Copies of this chain bind each other. A is one copy, B any other.
């Protein structure tokens, strides 16, 4: 009611996103970020698993179990805490050498826990893990869902942007149309200003309202309203909201699906190039092979210099000297430098100068270490 035009823009964009994902008879919503999107999906699954959950709470019910890969984002842990499920009831499934959830391991864990009287209700596939950029494979998870009947959610916060390009979608997201829900951030690779997250539900029209709505709110929402169907307020966990749909709609109209798809392909091409550059520099080494958009590498160190400390020092020096702020993370306790390219004007020349600056600083630091 307060912003009718932007509400129509939001509907238009959400419908467009549902089409892209291949979700039939679905619905969507803009949230405050994928952390929030993941939580709402888990909430919907929880209230579906425990029919009385919304009114009576979880007290006295058999424990529910959620499953994610060991490399999933920490927002899933937060969601398990917030929703009253408990972080110990979020089971971490081992990943394979590519950083993808192992379906066989998932099935073993599903069987094992079901025997203990716990109820598996939710599996989250990470579509583009935070550190390595790995995409969990969906078809085997869809198969397991047939057997175990859980809610299958896709966290595409980072990697979901592959949806914008038909080829990348086929390559990275096969089976996405089978998910029960999917969330991704338009403010990451797609470049819209913060915040711009979208959460999509498949074959679940009305679920959002049912899950999120509660309490007496007739000062805002009234059934006599002819446009109640269009009003998105009762389906949101927020009360007041920024008009985030405007910038999203304008970006979409200005760049178009094609323009944004080119952007994503450009990022992928640059990360392929960056991997080649790393291979060509003797001082550097890929920490793990590149899975998608993430380039995880480190500076090689001789045996007498601890690699993690050295790379951390190198990274801090680059930051303090105002040269660059590189992401770092740990892969199996090994510190890795993590290059993610998300600026549309970034070019091969920028990749070159990033690495040559880094190598120069690294050599200098190595020199100091060997002398000191």
The residues of A with any CB-CB pair to B shorter than 8 Å are: 1-2, 32-36, 39, 43, 46-47, 52-64, 73-78, 80-89, 130-131, 185, 187, 194-195, 211-219, 224, 237-242, 312, 325, 327-330, 338
Q: Quick one: given A83-B83, A84-B85, A242-B194, are A215 and B53 in contact (CB under 8 Å)?
A: no
Are B86 and A224 in contact, with the CB atoms below 8 A?
A: no
For residue A88, which residue of chain B has the nearest CB? B55
Which residues of chain B are near A83, meaning CB under 8 Å? 82-84
Are B53 and A59 in contact, with the CB atoms below 8 A?
A: no
5 closest cross-chain pairs (CB), A and B: A84-B84, A74-B215, A77-B215, A57-B86, A77-B214
Question: From residue A81, how far is it (CB to closest CB) to chain B in Å?
Answer: 5
Instruction: Determine the main DSSP class of A at the interface with B.
Output: loop
Which residues of chain B are near A73, meaning CB under 8 Å? 215, 239
Q: Quick one: given A60-B60, A218-B330, A219-B338, are A43 and B239 in contact (CB under 8 Å)?
A: no
Are B59 and A62 in contact, with the CB atoms below 8 A?
A: yes
Are B130 and A219 in contact, with the CB atoms below 8 A?
A: yes
Q: Quick one: given A59-B61, A338-B219, are A84 and B53 in contact (CB under 8 Å)?
A: yes
Question: From residue A290, how far is it (CB to closest CB) to chain B in Å?
Answer: 17
Are B214 and A78 in contact, with the CB atoms below 8 A?
A: yes
Which residues of chain B are near A87, meaning CB under 8 Å? 54-55, 214-215
Contact of A55 among B47, B86, B185, B212 (CB under 8 A): B86
Other A-B contacts than A54-B81, A75-B215, 11 sampled, CB-CB below 8 A, are A46-B84, A53-B86, A56-B86, A58-B58, A59-B59, A60-B63, A74-B216, A74-B239, A77-B216, A87-B214, A87-B215
How far does the alpha carbon of A81 sit from the alpha carbon of B77 in the complex, in Å?
18
Which residues of chain B are near A80, meaning CB under 8 Å? 57, 214
Which residues of chain B are near A219, meaning CB under 8 Å? 130-131, 327-330, 338
Are B55 and A84 in contact, with the CB atoms below 8 A?
A: no
Which residues of chain B are near A218, meaning CB under 8 Å? 329-330
How far does the alpha carbon of A88 sit from the alpha carbon of B329 in the complex, in Å?
44
For residue A31, which residue of chain B has the nearest CB? B32
How far does the alpha carbon of A261 sit from the alpha carbon of B85 in the complex, in Å?
43
For residue A47, which residue of chain B has the nearest CB? B81
Question: From residue A317, how far is it (CB to closest CB) to chain B in Å?
Answer: 15
Which residues of chain B are near A56, meaning CB under 8 Å? 63, 86, 88-89
Which residues of chain B are near A325, meaning CB under 8 Å? 1-2
Which residues of chain B are near A312, meaning CB under 8 Å? 224
For residue A338, which residue of chain B has the nearest CB? B219
Most chain B beta carbons < 10 A, residue from A57, A212, A216: A57
A/B interface sample: 29 pairs, CB < 8 A: A33-B239, A43-B81, A46-B84, A47-B81, A53-B86, A54-B81, A54-B87, A55-B87, A56-B88, A57-B64, A57-B84, A57-B85, A58-B58, A59-B60, A59-B62, A74-B214, A74-B216, A74-B217, A74-B239, A75-B239, A77-B216, A84-B84, A84-B85, A87-B215, A131-B219, A194-B240, A194-B242, A195-B242, A219-B328
How far does the alpha carbon of A292 sit from the alpha carbon of B111 in the complex, in Å?
59
